[in-house]
Amino acid sequence: MSNLTTQSSERALTPAPRMQPNGTVSRVASWLIWPALLVLAVGLGLGIDNNYWLQVTVNAEIMVIATVGLYVTFGLSGQVSLGQAAFFAIGGYSVGLLVTKLSMDFGLAMVIGVLLSAIVGLALGIPALRLKGHYLALATLGFGQVVALILVNWTWLSGGATGVSGITAPLFGSFELVTVSDWAVFIGIFAVLAIFVVHRVKNSSYGRAMQAVRDSDVAAAAMGVSLSAVKVLAFVIGAAFAGLAGALNAGFTTYISPGTYNLALSVSLLAMVVVGGATSHWGAVIGAVLLTFLPELLRPIQDYYLLLYGVLLLIMVAFVPGGIWGVILGIGRYVGRLTGIRRRREKTELDLLKGEES
């Protein structure tokens, strides 16, 4: 009995690695993830021969960027945004117009596009985040509609329904991205970087504050957390990442038109987070990749694809609330429990042996 208590207090001081996310084992593992992902991103860009699948891969990477951003807004801090397409559009049109009308370098135009998305996010976020739950969803929905209508109607600025084409420019100076493969490597690196940044944010005090606001805003405030600052930060991160995704998309496709930035895009971004699993940025990544490839894989039954997509979404929301990531974690935990039982049994056998010896 005394043995049991000492054992458990030791355990409290040096928690088992699998329970402690900051333990040495998982720290090394989590460091290895980033070079591995970079190698994967570059490898995919250089390795995929088929131009079509390479394009789909780039699309998935663009979606990963927007989705991990939305994960911060929705998954971490619990704010439903149905207007991400608008930020996507702000990033895309900034790049499109600056490059074609002002002959700006793509790199600089991209930076401006991201900043502009963040600023608009801030301007919308500060007043809108006083609104709870569904009101925020409606405000962002309305914002998305306003931007979509502006893109169609303000022809002098946006080129109207025909959009902007010929968005080609050097990245910086004379360095240019030409082939699909170039773009795949470039955007792939950004996608890894985006996941990395969100990973860091999540594990910092900012990430904890966001989760606290999501779980109980009253308690978070009582612990000194400024609700408005935290919510606005989370919203602006989502806006900036969507802007980055839009900017990269504009450069990659060289053509933008208002039809891309509709409610369906906002909804599918949210669906990616939910289907992948809103509890983790890895869930968002999985959701983005899966829901980008799924329509391509289901091309043979194209007519039924969206129907299937709707049914999948409905089933995931109703019966798999933790998303695919939740299922993966569940399986991991199950396997862990099995091996844990085995370990304990080994220990008891060892104890028995010792007992026999003494």
Nearest to 45 by CA among 190, 253, 173: 190
Q: Does 132 bind another protein (CB under 8 A)?
A: yes
Contact string 59-78 vs another protein (x = CB under 8 A)? ---------------x---x
Span 23-62, contacts to another protein by CB under 8 A: none
Q: Does 183 bind another protein (CB under 8 A)?
A: no
Contact string 300-319 vs another protein (x = CB under 8 A)? ---xx-xx-xxx-xx--xxx
Span 280-299, contacts to another protein by CB under 8 A: none
Looking at beta carbons only, is 27 or 344 nearer to another protein? 27
Looking at beta carbons only, is 44 or 212 nearer to another protein? 212
- The one among 162, 168, 228, 339 contacting another protein by CB under 8 A: 228
Q: Does 333 bind another protein (CB under 8 A)?
A: no
- Say how many residues touch another protein, by CB under 8 A: 78
SS3 string of the chain? CHHHHHHHHHHHHCCCCCCCCCCHHHHHHHHHHHHHHHHHHHHHHHHCCCHHHHHHHHHHHHHHHHHHHHHHHHHHCCCCCCCHHHHHHHHHHHHHHHHHHHCCCHHHHHHHHHHHHHHHHHHHHHHHCCCCHHHHHHHHHHHHHHHHHHHHHCHHHHCHHHCEECCCCCCECCECCCCHHHHHHHHHHHHHHHHHHHHHHHHCHHHHHHHHHHHCHHHHHHCCCCHHHHHHHHHHHHHHHHHHHHHHHHHHHCEECHHHHCHHHHHHHHHHHHHHCCCCHHHHHHHHHHHHHHHHHCHHHHHHHHHHHHHHHHHHHHHCCCHHHHHHHHHHHHHHHHHHHHHHHHHHHHHHHHHHHC
Looking at beta carbons only, is 89 or 139 nearer to another protein? 139
Q: Does 7 bind another protein (CB under 8 A)?
A: no
Interface segment toward another protein; rule CB under 8 A; list 52-60, 199-207, 280-288, 324-332: 199-207
Q: Does 146 bind another protein (CB under 8 A)?
A: yes
Give least dist CB 76 to another protein, A: 11
- The one among 2, 3, 8, 50 contacting another protein by CB under 8 A: 8
Q: Does 211 bind another protein (CB under 8 A)?
A: yes
Q: Does 261 bind another protein (CB under 8 A)?
A: no
Looking at beta carbons only, is 71 or 106 nearer to another protein? 71
Q: Does 111 bind another protein (CB under 8 A)?
A: no
Looking at beta carbons only, is 267 or 328 nearer to another protein? 267
CB 42 within 8 A of CB 48: no
Give least dist CB 220 to another protein, A: 7
- The one among 177, 209, 242, 250 contacting another protein by CB under 8 A: 209
